[in-house]
Each structure stands twice: as structure tokens, then as C-alpha cells.
Structure 1
Amino acid sequence: MIDWMQITGLGVIGEATVDLDPGFTVVTGETGAGKTMVVTALGLLLGRRADAGAVRRGSRRAAVDAGVRLPADHPALSLAAEAGAVLDDAGDGSADLVLSRSVTTSGDGTRSRAGLGGRAVPVGVLAEVGSALVAVHGQNDQVRLRSAAAQRHALDAFGGPQLVAAAAAYRADHTAYVAARRERDLLVERRQERAREAEALQRGLEEIDRAEPEAGEDETLRALIRRLEDVEELRAAADGGHAHLAGPDIESGDDLPGAITLVESARAAVQAAPGDDPELAAAAGRLAEASVILGDIAADLARFSADLDGDAVSDLDAAQTRLAELSRLQRLYGPELTDVLAWAEAQRPRLEELQGDSGRIDELEADLARLDASRRERAADLTTLRTAAAGRLEQAVTAELHALFMPDASFHVSLVPLDGGDPGPHGAEDVALALRPHAGAEPRPLGRGASGGELSRVMLALEVVLAETDPVPTFVFDEVDAGVGGEAAVSIGARLARLARRVQVIAVTHLPQVAAYADRHVRVEKNSDPEAGVTTSDVVTLGQQERVDELARMLAGHGDSAAARAHARELLEASAAERA
């Protein structure tokens, strides 16, 4: 609900703060005082188009701020939080939110700004939040239930838990059916393409499986190839090193001793020294170690040379052939060998999926037959429940219209089968709400075929009936009593009060019979200064005696009439007794 609203520089209102009742607040005032500026201000907060003409004469800026309090789980608060609004915890399971809108005029045009919870937001976001907060019914306002989706939702909600559950069950089946059909159609449409993909995958995986590559194998092969290409030089280097260490072969005829022999001779010479000198003993030990190390190196070089004695040419050919095979796989599925192995691992499940297309299509066909039968059965149940709910809604709203002194009017709910006979996302039919304003006329969609005042009464009747099942927190009725008076006005006031038991109601009226039913009475007062050429309006909340004066003014044209004042008190007492 809206707690308060502050208006600055809007129309004839210079600055005013309006405190609103959680139940029924009525706005009255003399003609031209600016009553509709309250509705205009609410419209700005709901994201309506900003009109530079609404900015007060002599001002450059009009601004409207409002504080709303809603249950913490209300969808409007979620929308506001997503937009970055700051919410104030009220401590009783509800939260407070501030909405703001300003319109600035200057030489280069009109600028409009919107805010939620202290954060600047696009006007569209303000409109989205506002649509979940307030429904405005006026002679120039759109009907809340104009869209087919809103009308269907209203009927389903009116139908009660059984209809809501049936609609949810149908939507679940229909969603599953559409998903299965989409998958089936995609598989059938892309069957040849998927078959080609499967063939290419299988060919690639077979190539990789035949090659049986191992991670790092290509680097090992490159090292082997470099070795085999230099085999003679490697052998000569190893043999030369071995000869210098161990001495030349006998066949060579060279009698130069090797390094090992020289080291052993040096050790023998050191050990031949007389006595037991510790330094010489240490030197002899180190020479012994050097002899062992040199012997190990000589053995390694001999072994290295012996290993090169194989068929180096054939080994080189084999290594180069293998490397070429791996390089081809890397070009196709690499770039690295590890990437080739990873590709193969990732594509095996995809190949299994593609090869299972035929079986999957058969499964989906079976699922589609089952889901289609189920959703058609649920659609039929949904139609039956909607038909019953439509009849009840027609009767209830028509009764309200008659009570609102539209005796020849009737309300109609039509279930229109979808073209082609195939159920859609929400059932087998569209829901259409229509009004027949008088006998002999054809029912016409809401918003057509009725005057502004009639339409407001139609929406009042409909909202009263739907209040328990499909409410928004706040309803605004602008001139809902246009063109009526007397007993009809009393009936309108009573129904506004009845609606206010469940939601907040704000009504702009010129009829005292309606105003008498309000929980809070707000008057817009016009103050003129002809010499200065300025007219201003104030918004004040009336006390009990002030209400009597205002109702008397509305009855007699002025508040000084004793008879009018007595009638005003009678209206207030009668409305209070009826509400009690």
C-alpha cells in the first residue's frame, strides 16, 4: 500500500504531502482545484509519459515521491531489489520502498528521471514495479485486464485452487511436450548432417586408436632421430673418449697408456713412499676414487658405442615414419599430442550420442504420444473448470453491475478455442472478458463500447469480485461516479468501501454519497491570487467536522446550509453503520 505521497510543482499544486489510509481514501475538491493532479502524480510514479504541460507555471521542475509498504515477499520488492533499490525493513515482515519521478523543462526540451529506493532507474523499470503496485481506473486510463494473458490469469485465479492447480499441471505437461517435440524435430531435421558428423568422428577415432599415441612420444622420437642421424660422429666421440681413458686397442699399435693406467701408476707411486704419512695416504685414496670414476666413465662410453652398433639406417627410417604419423594426427586434432588424446577422449561420448539417434528418435516419438495424450486430457479438464468458473464470474460481475445501476448491462466471459485445435501454452482456449452495456447490443471487449464512467463502474464491479483472488495492493478510481447520483452513488461508495477491506482504494469523486464511505477524506483546496495571476492548490486531510463541512458543500454548493450539514452527518452515520 501507499503510505504517503509528496507532490511538488505539478499543475496547480505548488507543494503538498498526502497521507493515505490503508483502506479507502477519497479525494474531493471544487472543480478546477486540481483533484486529478493526485491521479496524475500517481501516473508519473507508474511510469506514465511525462508531459511538460503538467509542470506548474513558473516552475522548471515537477516532482512526485511516494513511500510504499509491502510484504517482504511481494514481487514488486523483488523487481526493485534487482534494480538496485534500497529497501527498509519495517520489522513486521514488511519492507518500505520509496518511488520518485521528476520532470524538468528547459529550453532544449523536457527531461524525465525516475528513482527507486534512492537509486536512479530507467522509467521502464519504474513502470514495471508500478504495475505490480497500483491499478488505475479512469476515463483515460488503460484497463488493467485488457490483455488476453491478464484476463486468463484473472479467471484462473477466480476459479480457485483446483483451477490454479489444473492450469499448472497442464503447463508442466505442455512444456515437456514442446521440449520433446523440439528435440525430435531437430534430430530428424539434422539426421543427415549428424550422420556425416558421426562418420567423420568414427574415422578420426579409428585413426587415433590404430596409432596408439602416447603423451610425449613425439619429443622422444625427435631426440632418437637426432641421435641416429649423428651415429658415426657419436660412435667416434665415444670410442675416442674410451681410448683416452682405458688405453688404445692392441690392434691399433699405439702404446700410449690411458688415463686410468696413469692414475693407477700415480697411486702406486704415492703408496710406495716410506712411513705412514697421512697426507700421502689421503692423496692415494683420492687417486683410487678417481680411478674408479674414470673406469665407470670408460664403461659407459663403451656401452654407448656398443648400443650404436645396431641397424641405424632402418631405425632412423622407422622413427621418422612414426613421427610423420604422429605429426599428421597433431595437424588434424592437435596442435599437441596431448590435445590429440584429449580430443579423442572428448569425442567418444559424442559419437555414442550420434550413433544412438535412431533409438533416441523412437524414444521421443513414444514420449510425444504419451505427453500429447496427457496434455489433451488435462486441457479438457482445464476447459471444464474454466467453463464453470466463467459462469460464476459472469453472474457475480453482472450482479455487481446491476447494483451499480447498470440494470441492462451484463458481463460475459468467453472461452475461444485456439485455431487449429491444438492446445497452446495455457490450454485449448483463450479467455475473453466482454461487456454488453444494454439489451440488444453485442458483448464487446473491455474498454470498448462503454463510456468512461461506465467503464470505471465495470472495472469497479470486476475488481470487487476479483479482490479475493487477483488483487494488486492499491486501486485508484478517477471519476468512477461520473454520470450517476443518488442511490447509484451510494451503491458505488459502498462497493469501494467493500473493496477497501482487502486492498487499498483511492478514489477521486465529486459525489458526497461516495465520499461518505471513505476511511480518510482528502480535500484539494484552490487558492487564487488574481493580482499576481497565480493559482495554487493545497492538499489537506479533513477531520470529522471538516468532513461534514465538505460533504455539505458537495451537497448544496456551500457548507453553511444547516440542512446540507444535517444531510452530511446523516450520510456519514449511515455509511459508518453499513461498514460496521
Structure 2
Amino acid sequence: MIEEIRIQNLGVIGRAHVQLGPGLTVLTGETGAGKTMVLTALSLLLGGKADPATVRTQAQAAAVEGRVVLPADAPALVRAEEAGAELDDDGSLLLVRTVGAGGDGGSGRSRAFVGGRSVPQAVLGELAQALVTVHGQADQARLRSPAHQREALDAFVGPQHRETLGRYRTAWAERARVDTELTELVERAQDRSREAELLRLGLGEVERVDPQPGEDVALAEEAERLAHAEDLRAAASGAHAALTGDEDGGTDAVSAAAVVEHARRLLDQAGTHDPTLAALATRVAEAGYLLADASTELGAYLEDLQADPRRLEVVHQRRAELGTLTRSYGADVAQVLEWAAASGLRLLELEGGDQRIEELRATRDGLDASIAELARTLTLGRAEAAQRLADVVSQELTGLAMAGAQLQVVVEPADAPGPHGADRVEMLLVPHAGAPARPLGKGASGGELSRVMLALEVALATAPHDDEARPGTFVFDEVDAGVGGRAAIEIGRRLAELARGSQVLVVTHLAQVAAFGDRHLVVTKSTSDGVDVVTESDVRPVEGEDRVRELARMLSGQDDSQAARTHAAELLELSSVGR
């Protein structure tokens, strides 16, 4: 239930506080007084589109705040908590929407808050589906739509039917996904075959060459060494001779190792008298060890070093083989091996395409069978409920001063199954006895559509449903347009009956409807600095004589007309709801 709405700088409303309650609340006022802006504010709270043009002139932004009270297990409350909302101390949920002014000095941006937490606008829309059902003159146009008529029938059937419809739509969506994948696989069969053949050729070439990790780097080093074997031998031999004192090295048999050892002994002897020289002796000894190691390694290097033209030819040939791979499949052997691994997996996927096609066809056949069975169940539920809905609505239409009027709900096979089943639902109206049945979209007037829509709501409100199926608040925006007299009284009576189990807010221009309200709010305009504005004091509840005066104004345009006041009092006496 919506407890209250606070509005600031929206259209003609400077600041307003609309207090609501259970039962039927009627909202009246002169044309242009601001009733529409109250509904615009409610629309913003429910995730409706924000229009910067609705921001009051010279204001930087408009703000709407609503307080909602929900049961602890209400779906809307669960969704709000998922979005991070926090409840107030009294257990109510606060909804806030701001709209920036467009043009100079304004961003035109809209922001939404639920329970103190900033949320996307779409979250408000999700909450609205579980909170409020809004009916206006635009909804009369939607009632002409076969899709809207089908939705109304589905809502009437019951919760088990809606669960079946949910399963059907899930299966239908999955079937569409499977069919898309299957079509793509079949259409691309030739491309996949060509790709697989190219991969086989490439993998075959890689398998024939059989590159090893790091082989290209090792062969490059070996080729460089073999190509300069004599230069390497001369350098290593000369260095070895210099270290060991080999006469062939041209050092007169004086080795670097011997010179270092001589220096070490001198320092070692003197080091007993000076710690500095002792430390240096240690370092020189370490240098001697390093020279000895280097000498040993050079000797081993000379023994292994060979100038082998045949081996060099083999290395060049192997590098050429690897080069054919790296030119086609990667910059080096590592990348070639990575390509081979990925291509092997891709080839398995391509070769499994035919199997995948068969799997998808089997899945599609299974889904088709499931969809057909679910569609039959939906058709049975709709066909069984169609007559019941027609009877209930027709009975309501009789009470709404449309004696002899009948609603017919026709369920026929659709040209092809769709995401909502295999049925075409159409509502036909017989406006009076002897008249032909005509589709709501063609033959019904605005006043007739208003009454049909209200009758449908009463029927749906009394239909079997679960807690999530029907919102607890209904809003009607001048759905009584085009009617009057007895029909208007009956509309008020039906609205009051609907309000026995739900919160109902009605914006009306008919006194016959307003008289049935449990709470009557009047919106007026005042003038401030020559500009029309609605302030806190301009949205007020009326009772007693004030209410009689307002109803008289609605009846005759003159609140001081004695005849109108008498008629207003009679209307209040006729209404038993809210008295």
C-alpha cells in the first residue's frame, strides 16, 4: 500500500503532500489544477520515463518521494532488499525519484533511490509490477489489443496456468536458441569442412617435422659455433696458454696462474703484520681459484670443439625445415607448438560438428514435443476460463448500466505457435440486446471501453491468484470519461467493491464516482507572484460540508447552488462505502 506521496517542483506543483490510505481514495479538482501532475509523480516513482520539461519553471530539479508499506514476504520488498534497500524504523520503504531541468543550468538527468540506496530506473519498474496496476485512457487503447486481451485471460485462469505459461515461454526461448545454433552449423558446413582440411594439412606438416621446444634457439647457437670453429679454437687455445703458461701461448712459460699465486704468497707472508694485506691476500687467492677453474673449462672446451662441415650441413637443413613451419604457423617454434595445440582442439570441434548437429536436432525435437504439450495445456486452460470470464464481465456490465451487454471471449488456434502459446484470443462486445458482436478494437466507444476495463478488473480481482499475481494498489485515471448518470454511479460502486480488498486511487471528474470514496482529496491552485502554483495547503482532504460543496461544484460548476448541494447530499446517502 502507498501511504503518502510528496512532490516538489513538478509542473504546477510547487510542493504537495498527498496522504493515501486503504480503501478507495478519490482525487478531484478543477481542470488544470494539478491532478495530472499527481499521476505524473506516481509514474516517476514507478519507473516511468522522466521528462525534464515537467520540471517547474525556474527550478533546477523536481523530486518525488513515496512511502510504501508492504508485508514482510512481499515480492517487491524482496526485490528492494536485493537492490540494497533498507527499511525505515516503522517498516516502510521509501522511494525517491529526481528529475533535473533540461536546457541552460540543468542536466536533465534522472536519479532513482530505493530505501536510501541509488538504483537504476529499471529497478523501480520491477517494483511497480508487484506494487501497482495503473489504468488510464491510454489503457483503453491497449484493451483493444489482442495481446492485452490474452494477458487478461491468462491472469484470470489462475496461478497454475501462469506457471505453465512460464515453462512454455522458457522452452520457446530455448528452442529458438537451439534452432539458431543448428541453422548456423548447417549453413556453415562447407566452410567448416574447408577449415578442417586446412588444419589437417598444417598439423600433418608439423607432425612430420616434429619440432621440439627450444630447438630453433639451440640450433641457431650450434650453427654459429660450427661456422666459426677455427676462430673459436684460436681464441680458446690462446687464453688457455695464457692461464697455464703453455709455451705455445707465447708467454715464456710464465702463466697468469703462477703470477697470481706468487702475489698471494707475498701478501700472505706480510699479512701477519697488517690485517689489510691479509684481507687482500684472501681476495687474490679467490682470483687464483677462478683462474684455475677457467683454465680447466677452456681445456674441456678445446677437447669438445670440432670443425665438422657435415654436422653444420645437417644443422642448416634442420633449421630450413623449421623455417617452413615458422613462416606459416608462428614466429618461432614455441608459437608453432602453440598453434598446433589450439588447432588440434579446433579440429576436434569441427570434426564433431556433425555429431553436434544430430544432438541439436534431437534437442529441438524434444523441445518441440514439450512445447506442443504445454501449448495444449494452455489452450485447455484458456478455453475453460474464457466462458467463465465472459460470464463474470457480462454480469458486471449489467450492473454498470449496460443491460443486455455481453462480453464474448473467443479462443481460436493461431496461424502458428508463438512465444505465448498456440492460441489467438479475442474479446468481442455485444453492446446491447440484438446487436452483433464486434471486436473491442473496432466497435466499442470510449465509455463502453471504460466500463469493460473496470468490469475486467473486478473479475480479475475476484479470480483465483497467488500473492504475486495481483498488485495491492490500483490507480484509475478518469476511466469514467464518456459516461454519466446511472452508469457513473455503478462505476463508483464497482470501484468501491474493488477497494474492499485493495487500495484504489481514482482521479475523476464525476461526482457520482467521487461520492463512493473512503477518502476524498481535492487539488486546487493558488497564485504566487502572478504564477499558478499548488502548495502544501492546496491538496486537502474534504469531509462533511466541504465534501458536499466539492461534489456540488463537480455537478453544476457552482458550489453554492442549493440544487447541486441537495443532489450531492443525495449521492452521499446513496453510497454506503466510506460513509
Moved more, 114-123 or 368-377: 114-123
How many angstroms does 1:192 deviate by?
1.0
The one-letter amino acid of 1:498's match is E
Partner residue of 2:304? Answer: 307
Partner residue of 1:445? Answer: 440
* Aligned counterpart for 1:215 among listed residues 194, 213, 216: 213
For the 8 Å contact 1:457–1:481, the answer to whether it is kept is no
Q: 1:101 to 1:441 in 2, by over 3 A?
A: farther
Partner residue of 1:467? Answer: 461
Q: 1:102 to 1:403 in 2, by over 3 A?
A: farther
How many angstroms does 1:528 deviate by?
9.6
Percentage of pairs with the same residue? 43
Q: 1:412 to 1:99 in 2, by over 3 A?
A: farther
Q: 1:49 to 1:210 in 2, by over 3 A?
A: closer
For the 8 Å contact 2:140–2:453, the answer to whether it is kept is no
How many angstroms does 1:74 deviate by?
5.6
* Aligned counterpart for 2:253 among listed residues 254, 257, 281: 257
Q: 1:99 to 1:42 in 2, by over 3 A?
A: farther
Q: Distance in 2 between matches of 1:434 and 1:406?
A: 15
Partner residue of 1:431? Answer: 425
**Partner SS state of residue 89, structure 1:** coil
* Residues paired across the two proteins, number: 550
Partner residue of 2:497? Answer: 498
How many angstroms does 1:128 deviate by?
8.8
Partner residue of 2:375? Answer: 379
How many angstroms does 1:198 deviate by?
1.3
Q: Distance in 2 between matches of 1:291 and 1:35?
A: 107
How many angstroms does 1:527 deviate by?
7.2
For the 8 Å contact 2:98–2:110, the answer to whether it is kept is yes
Alignment of 1:137-536 (within 5 A): 137-139=135-137, 143-145=141-143, 147-246=145-244, 256-257=252-253, 259=255, 297-309=294-306, 312-419=308-415, 421=416, 423-438=417-432, 439-446=434-441, 448-467=442-461, 469=465, 471-472=470-471, 473-478=473-478, 480=480, 482-486=482-486, 488-525=487-524
Moved more, 121-130 or 161-170: 121-130
Q: Distance in 1 between matches of 2:249 and 2:380?
A: 117
Q: Deviations over 1:470-492 (max 9, x none)?
A: 54533123151643224x33322
Q: 1:308 to 1:440 in 2, by over 3 A?
A: same
**Partner SS state of residue 506, structure 1:** strand
Alignment of 1:8-157 (within 5 A): 10=11, 16-29=16-29, 33-34=30-31, 37-43=34-40, 46=43, 47=48, 65-69=64-68, 71=70, 89-91=87-89, 94-100=92-98, 114-117=110-113, 135-139=133-137, 143-145=141-143, 147-157=145-155
Q: 1:323 to 1:467 in 2, by over 3 A?
A: farther
The one-letter amino acid of 1:444's match is P
Structure 2 length-normalised TM: 0.77
For the 8 Å contact 2:493–2:516, the answer to whether it is kept is yes
**Partner SS state of residue 343, structure 1:** helix
Q: Distance in 2 between matches of 1:450 and 1:354?
A: 60
Moved more, 355-364 or 65-74: 65-74
Q: Distance in 1 between matches of 2:287 and 2:18?
A: 106
For the 8 Å contact 1:481–1:489, the answer to whether it is kept is no
Q: 1:78 to 1:219 in 2, by over 3 A?
A: same
For the 8 Å contact 1:218–1:337, the answer to whether it is kept is yes
Q: Distance in 1 between matches of 2:79 and 2:409?
A: 33
Q: 1:449 to 1:48 in 2, by over 3 A?
A: farther
How many angstroms does 1:534 deviate by?
8.3
**Partner SS state of residue 418, structure 1:** strand
For the 8 Å contact 2:9–2:55, the answer to whether it is kept is no
Q: Distance in 2 between matches of 1:90 and 1:253?
A: 97
* Structure 2 segments unaligned to the other structure (5+ residues): none
For the 8 Å contact 1:434–1:445, the answer to whether it is kept is yes
Q: Deviations over 1:300-337 (max 9, x none)?
A: 3333222123x621222222232333343333332343
Q: Distance in 1 between matches of 2:504 and 2:283?
A: 109
How many angstroms does 1:445 deviate by?
3.3
Q: Deviations over 1:29-67 (max 9, x none)?
A: 4xxx23773035414653579798x999xx666967352
Q: Distance in 2 between matches of 1:548 and 1:434?
A: 40
For the 8 Å contact 2:429–2:438, the answer to whether it is kept is yes
For the 8 Å contact 2:6–2:65, the answer to whether it is kept is yes
Partner residue of 2:543? Answer: 543
Q: 1:503 to 1:100 in 2, by over 3 A?
A: farther
Q: Distance in 1 between matches of 2:242 and 2:296?
A: 12
How many angstroms does 1:208 deviate by?
2.6
**Partner SS state of residue 575, structure 2:** helix
The one-letter amino acid of 1:452's match is G
* Structure 1 segments unaligned to the other structure (5+ residues): none
Q: Deviations over 1:353-392 (max 9, x none)?
A: 1111222222222332232222212211211112112222
Q: Distance in 2 between matches of 1:198 and 1:256?
A: 72
Q: Distance in 1 between matches of 2:15 and 2:281?
A: 112
Q: Distance in 2 between matches of 1:215 and 1:552?
A: 97
Q: Distance in 1 between matches of 2:357 and 2:390?
A: 47
Q: 1:303 to 1:552 in 2, by over 3 A?
A: closer
For the 8 Å contact 2:480–2:510, the answer to whether it is kept is no
For the 8 Å contact 1:474–1:503, the answer to whether it is kept is yes
**Partner SS state of residue 214, structure 1:** coil
Q: Distance in 2 between matches of 1:169 and 1:60?
A: 52
The one-letter amino acid of 2:35's match is V
The one-letter amino acid of 1:300's match is E
How many angstroms does 1:163 deviate by?
0.8
For the 8 Å contact 1:409–1:437, the answer to whether it is kept is yes
How many angstroms does 1:266 deviate by?
6.8
Q: Distance in 2 between matches of 1:104 and 1:350?
A: 54
Q: Distance in 1 between matches of 2:55 and 2:347?
A: 69
Q: Distance in 1 between matches of 2:220 and 2:555?
A: 108
Q: Distance in 2 between matches of 1:386 and 1:559?
A: 50
Q: 1:360 to 1:482 in 2, by over 3 A?
A: closer
Q: 1:262 to 1:119 in 2, by over 3 A?
A: closer
Q: 1:264 to 1:36 in 2, by over 3 A?
A: closer
For the 8 Å contact 1:456–1:477, the answer to whether it is kept is no
